Amino acid sequence: MASYFCEKSTADPQPGDLLEITNGFSKHWTLYLCDGYVLSAVPLEEMPQTTKCKQSFIKMQLLEEAVGNGSFKVNNKYDGEFSVLPYEKIIHQAQILMDTKVCTDLLGPDCEQFIILLRYGENASVQVFLKNHFTSL
């Protein structure tokens, strides 16, 4: 297996950053690896989709390919709430998951939850964050 470690630099984005990609009304999340590459949960169009599960494939791709005609921003939105895993651990976990199939959907794991789990080692989706911080939910 190839190694995807690289030196951190002062340029944005940094290895291990969460990238929020906006394309029209849709949002997608990726994890920045290095040298212009990201880890993404890419939907498998050719596989039958159910209402409960959307099959996705975890793959490394160029950031420009993931962004397409959209835009992106670094959004490490839970850095104040959770400890960020060491960069080496984030990348190691990303390497293990690369080229695997996952089930993503709005009611269960989605691309945001998957990427957040890699950065923090926590299930820190907005829904879980709100539930944990506002007991009336």
* Active-site entry in 34, 103, 111, 133: 111
92 is catalytic: no
CB distance 15 to 116 below 8 Å: no
User: Active-site residue 111, yes or no?
Assistant: yes
Catalytic residue among 28, 34, 53, 92: 28
User: What are the catalytic residues?
Assistant: 28, 111
